Structure 1
Amino acid sequence: MSVVKINALSVPEGAGSELEARFAARKHSVDSAPGFEGFQLLRPIAGETRYFVITTWASEEDFQTWRSQRTPHEPAGPGSSTLSTQAALLEFEVVELAD
């Protein structure tokens, strides 16, 4: 069962383009991690001010293995940076719906 991790990042006003540039520079940095299935960066446009960094993993174990292998100074995801003033990790499992 796939798992989805969403980092909700609060970014100071006017810093969004810099955050996006940092993510673009590291776009494929997680691609080779075992169990990594996908990545999206969502820019807020209405009703929300936070950016959402969404990653999908084949299993919780794959995510935890990747997380534990990062060095302490390595960002938490592609393009992560000290630009965010606050971050919250939201965690989900993908529900496989029966036909």
Structure 2
Amino acid sequence: MITVANRIYVNPAYHDQFEARFRERAGLVDGMPGFVANHVLRPTGEGEPFVVLTFWESREAFEAWTNSDAFRQGHARSGTLPKDAFTGPNVLEIHEVVQSGGPR
């Protein structure tokens, strides 16, 4: 399993609108083969990014998503916020899960 963390720096004046985009998202990723989960993490400190965290069965599954028509359709909505809503470039990180835990 892998995680993909997209760190997105959002102007605080646009936090509510940014969060609304995800609450109202098309959900096209949900049906993709190999997709496990999606979490949108709100920053708790000033100047910190939002983190859109997705979990995938494999890197190949994630890459298939990014090359799909569904990806293009889902991200076409990203133009709904003006450029000044973002305070810096996105930072994409991909990690392989080597251990995962939960309640026993």
TM range (shorter): 0.7 to 0.9
Shift of the 54–27 alpha-carbon distance from structure 1 to 2, 3 Å rule, reads farther
Which stretch of structure 1 is more off in the superposition, 23-32 or 53-62?
Answer: 23-32
- Identify, as 1 or 2, the structure richer in strand: 1
Q: Does 1:94 align with 2:97?
A: yes
Q: Distance in 2 between matches of 1:88 and 1:23?
A: 18
Aligned residue for 1:8? 7
1:84 counterpart residue number? 86
1:84 deviates by: 3.3
What runs of 5+ residues in structure 1 fail to find an aligned partner? none
Determine which structure has the larger helix proportion and give its number: 2
Q: Distance in 1 between matches of 2:20 and 2:13?
A: 13
Q: Hey, what's the Cα distance between the residues in 1 that align with 2:25 and 2:78?
A: 9
Q: Is the 8 A contact 1:35 1:62 kept in 2?
A: yes
Give TM-score scaled by structure 1 length: 0.80
Looking at structure 2, the residues matched to 13 and 53 of structure 1 have their Cα atoms a distance apart, in angstroms, of: 16
Q: Which amino acid aligns with 2:75?
A: P
Change over 3 Å in CA distance of 1:94–1:3 after alignment to 2: same
Moved over 6 A (4+): none
Aligned length: 94
User: How big is each residue's C-alpha offset from its partner over 1:50-79, in whole Å with a ceiling of 9 and x where there is no partner?
Assistant: 100000000000000011113656418xx7
Q: What runs of 5+ residues in structure 2 fail to find an aligned partner?
A: none
Instruction: Calculate the aligned-residue CA RMSD, in Å.
Output: 2.4
Determine if contact 2:7/2:90 at 8 Å carries over to the other structure: yes
Local SS of the residue matching 2:22: helix
**Contact 1:23–1:80 (CA under 8 A) maintained in structure 2:** no
